[in-house]
Amino acid sequence: MELGATICLPRAPLCLNCPVYAMCSTRGEHATQPRAAQKSRPAAYLLSLRKRGVITEVLLQRRPDDATLMAGMYELPPLPQDVVHGREPTIRLRHAITNTNYYVQVFAPRGSKDQALRRAVPAARADLKWVRASRLNQLALTGLARKILQRLEIMSITPIRLAEEEQPAHDAKRQKRLKGKLKSARS
């Protein structure tokens, strides 16, 4: 059991429900460290798509293996802020990671001849990879990349399915009711 998340809450501990109350050294509300102030940072990313017949591919960049956050994961290629000045983004969104709020803008080339954004990507060519949109769910994507690609409907949202024995009781009951309704409708 995770006592810190369920019972020994920093500002409102549930001491009467605690199985280790007799051994507890705090026995009640305890001091919490003040949270660091949220930082705000702008971020710009490139959305580059290409078609190969009926196949759509997305240009992604692999994060370095020694990166402090999300090492080895794929993301949309970041763009320098000065390159996107005066351009209208395809999408704007906010994304929070730990104590930083990122105000994200995603930019797409204005046509096949608009190469300025692609040339501005500071990544080495070897770190960039074209990935089929149909295979994005199989790739280790950063949460931000996944959020952007899903909001733009380039990547599908795949619901997580629990094995039947792991389903909560109310879901199992609901499925039984639906099966019963289907049987009666067929009769």
Give yes or no for residue 77 having a pLDDT over 60. yes
In this predicted structure, what is the pLDDT of residue 186?
56
In this predicted structure, what is the pLDDT of residue 156?
84
pLDDT band (50, 70, 90) for residue 17: confident
Query: What does the alpha-carbon distance between residue 58 and residue 47 come to, in Å, rounded to a whole number?
Result: 7
- Mean of pLDDT values over 99-126: 89
Nearest-Å Rg of the Cα atoms of the chain is 24
Residue 175 CB partners (closer than 8 Å, separation 6+): 167
- Mean of pLDDT values over 73-88: 94
In this predicted structure, what is the pLDDT of residue 154?
94
Query: What does the alpha-carbon distance between residue 121 and residue 146 come to, in Å, rounded to a whole number?
Result: 20
**Strands annotated E in 88-139:** 91-97, 100-107, 128-132
In this predicted structure, what is the pLDDT of residue 176?
66
In this predicted structure, what is the pLDDT of residue 37?
85
- Mean of pLDDT values over 23-39: 78
- Mean of pLDDT values over 11-34: 79
In this predicted structure, what is the pLDDT of residue 113?
76
Alpha-helix residue ranges (DSSP H) falling in 52-142: 81-84, 116-120
Query: Hey, what domains does the chain have and what are their CATH numbers?
Result: 1-34 (no CATH), 39-151 (3.90.79.10)
pLDDT band (50, 70, 90) for residue 44: very high
Percentage above 90 pLDDT, the chain: 49
Give yes or no for residue 164 having a pLDDT over 70. no
pLDDT band (50, 70, 90) for residue 128: very high
Mean of all residue pLDDT scores within the chain? 85
Give yes or no for residue 133 having a pLDDT over 90. yes
